[in-house]
């Protein structure tokens, strides 16, 4: 099986390459350093490959798709360009009980954003079962490592050594203060919400890892479900999933702040969901590696499904004792 990673030197591309290079069922097509700017070789590899990963900015991804004329080449795109495009399949296998089949049969798959992945895993089951109304005024907060900002932000954190910059980067930085983050359209569409959430992301001074939190006031919900009701709904929805785990309530009682460390899923394709708080106010938290389940891990998981092989091949699972 021939695979080409277009944009292999970017953050996501490097991680995909790292995950695939150890596999003996994959032949990675790589452009030599001296030819990396040769458009003819790039187009040749894109049409020779069985699977192409696009790890490019949005506009570059749109342009790249037009260069692939081989009808048998299957594309997995990591940008936001096609996530809400109905001609593409949304690459979150755990989204519903039919999503894996849709991905397996697709020629075009869009990898979800990291924030959107965690948000959808946290609340879609509750919307689907009617526990959370579609028009609930939902808010969401995300703590994430700076690698999510791509090469430019990584360089700002790791290259700027002035005292002023070090002091600034050691503090958390809220962004998208106009409440217009580019993940919002997919966050709404794939949770089936009537309106977009109020979403505030925060970048922190660690490389990768993230926790997305969603507060819910139960008195505003139909039948005022308890914390246990919410936990049960999530547990039932993800029963049997290899990479999504709902943490048992007994494990969260008296949980210290270090147990919700955003980095504890790093290096894996896992997503962990916590149901915290009490029967009046519930906090649903989802932890994952923004470079794992939030990007390259999800991309490889999608490829495995598209090729009809075990979905976890080449992906790391780690049992967390939390």
Looking at the annotation, which residues are catalytic?
Answer: 114
Query: What count of Cα atoms within 13 Å lies in the side-chain half-sphere of residue 133?
Result: 11
SS (H, E, C) 21-77: CCCCCCEEECCCHHHCCCHHHHHHHHHHCCEEEECCCHHHHHHHHHHCCCCCCEEEE
- Stretch (H or E) spanning 13: helix 11-20
Contact present, 278 and 213 (Cβ < 8 Å) = no
Q: Which neighbouring-strand residues pair with 211? A: 143, 287
Residues in the chain: 322
**Hey, how many other C-beta atoms are within 10 angstroms of the C-beta on 200?**
15
Alpha-carbon distance of 133 to 312, in angstroms, equals: 33
Q: Which residue, chain included where needed, has tokens 């504890």? A: 264
Whether residue 77 contacts residue 111, with contact meaning beta carbons closer than 8 Å, is answered with yes
Q: What's the CA gap between 106 and 20, in Å, rounded? A: 21
């Amino acid at each position: 099986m021939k695979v080409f990673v277009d944009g292999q030197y970017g953050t996501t591309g490097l991680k995909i390459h790292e995950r695939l290079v150890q596999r003996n069922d994959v032949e990675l097509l790589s452009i030599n350093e001296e030819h990396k700017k040769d458009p003819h070789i790039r187009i040749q590899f894109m049409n020779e490959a069985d699977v192409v990963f696009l790890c490019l900015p949005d506009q570059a991804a749109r342009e790249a798709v037009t260069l692939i004329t081989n009808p048998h080449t299957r594309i997995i795109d990591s940008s936001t360009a096609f996530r809400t495009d109905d001609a593409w399949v949304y690459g979150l296998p755990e989204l519903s009980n039919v999503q894996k089949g849709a991905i397996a049969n697709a020629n075009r798959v869009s990898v979800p954003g990291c924030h959107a992945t965690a948000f959808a895993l946290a609340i879609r089951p509750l919307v689907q079962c009617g526990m959370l109304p579609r028009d609930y005024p939902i808010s969401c907060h995300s703590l994430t490592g700076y690698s999510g900002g791509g090469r430019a932000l990584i360089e700002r954190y790791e290259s700027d050594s002035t005292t002023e910059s070090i002091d600034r980067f050691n503090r958390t930085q809220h962004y998208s203060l106009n409440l217009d983050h580019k993940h919002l359209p997919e966050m709404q569409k794939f949770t089936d919400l009537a309106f977009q959430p109020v979403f505030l992301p925060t970048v922190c001074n660690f490389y990768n890892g993230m926790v997305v939190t969603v507060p819910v006031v139960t008195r505003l919900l139909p039948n005022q479900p308890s914390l246990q009701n919410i936990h049960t709904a999530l547990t039932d929805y993800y029963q049997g999933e290899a990479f999504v785990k709902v943490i048992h309530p007994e494990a969260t009682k008296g949980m210290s702040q270090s147990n919700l460390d955003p980095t504890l899923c790093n290096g894996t394709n896992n997503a962990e969901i916590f149901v915290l708080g009490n029967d009046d106010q519930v906090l649903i938290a989802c932890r994952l590696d923004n470079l794992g389940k939030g990007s390259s891990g999800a991309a490889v998981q999608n490829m495995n499904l598209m090729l009809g092989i075990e979905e976890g091949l080449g992906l790391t699972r780690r049992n967390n004792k939390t």
